[in-house]
Chain A
Amino acid sequence: MSHKSENISKVKNTGEAKTKKANNGLTAWEIVKISRHSGRPVFQDYLKLIFENFIPLHGDRYFADDPAIVGGFAELEGNKIMLVGHYKGKNTEENIERNFGMAKPEGYRKALRLMRLAERFNIPIVTIIDTPGAFPGMEAEERGQAESIAKNITEMAKIEVPIISVVIGEGGSGGALGIGVGDKILMLSRAIYSVISPEGCASILWRDASYAPDAAKALNLTADALLKLDVIDEIIEEPAEGAHTGVHKTAENVKNSIIKNLNLLGNLDVEELLKNRSSKYSNMGKYNDINKG
């Protein structure tokens, strides 16, 4: 699901300006724009700034090596981990090469292979989420885009080492969740996580993609909203204007948050870890039990 953030100036004034409350006075749509900012730090920035001794590992062993998902062994202040993340480019050329961080089945299958490898090596997993969504292409469907995501979501429930997922930019729907079933879900304060892009939602429910700001607000896709809905566990602070205005500070915050949560999860035995993960996801969502009034 590609987005069209370029048309911002054409967006109708639909009254969402009046609804600034949370998020330091920013609207949901302003946060969407920050999360997609061309200068926003991406996977490779964090790789450079906070991870060491990265040993990239390639391929899903079935079909190909998807450049939209990168992974391998890495160290985070001496903690040995398996690092897996969406890889957006830093410029147009790189983005084309990396398919804008939109993974294909081989990307999700590589991610699962590396997560199983982490289990064998008994090291925790850190996944970095930043994608507009899984790639909506013919060959992706042909090779089982749905199956690859479904499989990852199911298998991540069974992985016997801690998993920490960090949403650093765009958490685009199933494409994000395919590497996002963590014991802890951390999210930068100007990142977004959504079931559908605001543009996609607006074009279906408003019949006009230019209502994206309204859809962005309605979807509750900001870190503040998702913490309240018990979807994420922790908000990692970044500068109010966005991580691109303070890359080093943001990276430092990401590092500290991951390490803190690694330590928390490291105290659990496998049985507790899996039980907690299972109950975390079993309790996701809000419904009405009419027997309970």
Chain B
Amino acid sequence: MSPDTLNAPAPERQAETAAVEFTVNGRPVAVRAGPFTRLTTVLRDHLGLTGTKVGCDAGDCGACTVRLDGRQVCACLVPLAQAAGCHVVTVEGLAEEGRLSALQRSFHLHGAAQCGICTPGMLMAASDLLARVAEPTAAEVEDALGGVLCRCTGYRKIVEAVVAAPSLPQEGNGAAEADEAPSVGRRLPRADGLAKLTGAERFGADAAPAEALWLRAVRSPHASARFEIGDLAPLHAKWPGLVRVLTAADVPGENSYGIYPHLKDQPVFAEGFARYRGEAVLALVGDRETVEAIPAAEIPIAWQPAEPVTGCAAAKAPDAPQLHGFAEGNELIRGYVEKGTPADVFADPAAAGAATVAEGTWRTGFVEHAYIEPEAGYAERVGQRLEVWGCTQAPYMDRDEVARVVGLAPEAVRIRPSACGGGFGGKLDVSIQPLLAVAAWVLERPVRGVYSRNESMAATTKRHPSEIAAKAAADAEGRLLALDFEGDFNTGAYASWGPTVAGRVPVHASGPYHLPNVRVLSRALYTNEPPAGAFRGFGVPQAAIAHECLMDDLAERLGRDPLAFRLANAIRPGQSTATGQVLEHSAGLAQCLEILQPRWRALRAAAEDFNAARRGRTRRGVGVGCMWYGIGNTALANPSDMRVVLDREGGLTLYNGAVDIGQGSATVMLQICADALGLPVSAFRQVVGDTDLTPDAGKTSASRQTFVSGKAAELAGLDLRGQILRLANAGPDAVLRLAGGTLEVVEGGRARSLALERLEQPLEGHGRFDPPTTPLDAKGQGSPYATYGFAAQLAELEVDLELGTVALHRIVAAHDLGRAVNPLLVEGQIEGGIAQGIGLALMEEYLPGRTENLHDYLIPSAGDVPEIEIHLVEDAEPLGPYGAKGIGEPALVPTAPAIFGAIRHATGVVVRQAPCLPHRLRALLKEAGHG
């Protein structure tokens, strides 16, 4: 069944009333539904206009922005009754007669849409502005878009796109770029971009079979509680629309899932004991109105709350309750790396040649992914198979998890990824999929579900809170000698990606520097808090806050310039990492720092002049942060397969299993494969991420898709090219042309056509790449990654000494990513990563039960991301496709350290806790004697 037909009628909460008449995109409509029904529901479910998105139902995200009588409003806050007689314009009404508006084209050309979930809201807010102000300034654009949140782009490209829209040439949407060869290195607009601008893109909540039942989980309001589910008969009797209540007993397969094969510790439904606030204990399945209306008070669950284990210290306390049978002391796992003789250095630093030792402690809190698209999808039983449609970063892993829970062979499950409205690691774990799968299987009916914003935040994974204690030593010449680092990572109630964090941190805790002596111990600890999982950087951002602070400490003690000190210690090709891996190529931190150096000197001097000239209430500062990031899984296999097919009708299709969560892999894979094959991107069709159709390209995480899947796409393209050349008996330099179903091979001025229709089989190119790594030994020695990305960023800011607030002026970023396959997309990743780094540094703190919505949990808005200057260092990685490595996670890691360094430069205070909220910074400033 095609998902496109399909939207169930919405619930009607109030008694049937007369139809409400209004116009939508100029067309008169009459809708019969409850008068308090949200306009979002009316548009999406009654009128089928799913271009208007729902990210919160509370006015906080702006994804639902439409124009009501010209003014931008949140459709989720407009009751149907109040739309009577009004003119509503939605994203579907922006294009005229199929032609994109200048604003839409400008978004496309500027790379202003990544995942695209915020795009309709952004477009509508911007169209309101452009109707009032013909040529708005960037500041006016920020004001107008301030009510729409974007988690992907960092807003800069959106603001640029709006400013540029009025003067955009009449024609052109960048399609011609896709005809150009070579494609690698071009600023090609997203291959999947146009649907994101018209509202046509289908995200998890945008489609389901018309007859689908709705599922709604009921979750523990307690962080720790025993519970008993009572007699359900009265509930069924009262609510005829309730088809089934599912509990742990209904799970046909194993009631457990988890990332690691030996750590399937998270139940689909809790069994008698809930380990965190937000854990599912049962699910209501029925018609939508019913499952949404059933009040908690009528659901027979008897709770016995217990004292929760909160935070790492409580988890380690000798008398702490043990949350999982196997995890003594609530310790899930440890990670360890040791190189050289660090203990000796710290036992007698002077004897070891150390001129100074710096040490400290740091802490960070839970950080929420806050993708604007909450988890959503549907599952459907198709005979003895099960199909799950929805947003994900890891289709093959989802397939295996779903199969296990339902008790099927993996091949009996098909995952069909919808467009994914942001992931950042949070959609690497299954969430709603097992619930939907169990329901659809047991009931033999399609079942759909959409998490509410609060549910998404309470139930799904977070960034691990960290508590780090570390020290570092350097000699009098400013050379790093040793590091000792211990970090506790709060993995919450379930393991999720906790082992990955515990494994990745020790490898990276030294920072991108050469250090002869290193000891790093990491622990992941269970608590009664939300499961902490994967979030852009897997623990490395937390560790970087500590190591970069130590670099600033050491530079200060030695009287050295912080950037020069880092440059002197930057790890270079030929040197070995903390795990003893000798980097042979592509270690471009030194180039990054060299590029930044003139900017650094000028900005530092300007800040110091400003501070010297004014005795006012603000101080300026400039800081630097560095990072490195191993691309792909840590010391584990992580292969990708790619397949490209030239069929007998002349159709060329890339079967690309790498889901695009907004970062642009659907474009990058095409560019790489196109160049390898020798045909333009425009010749390709693409099938993305469907487990029945595409080979496994692994998960979209660990910044691995460009490097690993990209390499596989290159190999697949080369494989197909080789077959074609052999068939045509042509040499390696022959030129291919594909037009109107005919393939021509041109060599030495002579063109020969291949009769594709006469082939017995379509031509298939296969590519597989598994980056070479070695396991780590007991001391963490080995080569855990095939290659590393490097970066350095500068932050320039102004601190208000009296209020403890920080105004960012600028970020200057230099990234070594091997090769920028598509600089437009790369810039988008960097800007988006920086925005998340700003959030981590200055505002984001998830507190269960207290900041469970986007009203109280703050992510940066359009006014919080300053100007960003980007320098790309292309120190080619020989293993990567056309020299490319990865950029997804590296972008975020250096930002918070750079901001903290700048605060220190401005004021002298050392930030040791993220986020550095105004009241925390003010407390530090007072301690330091600033009034």
Do A and B originate from a single complex? no
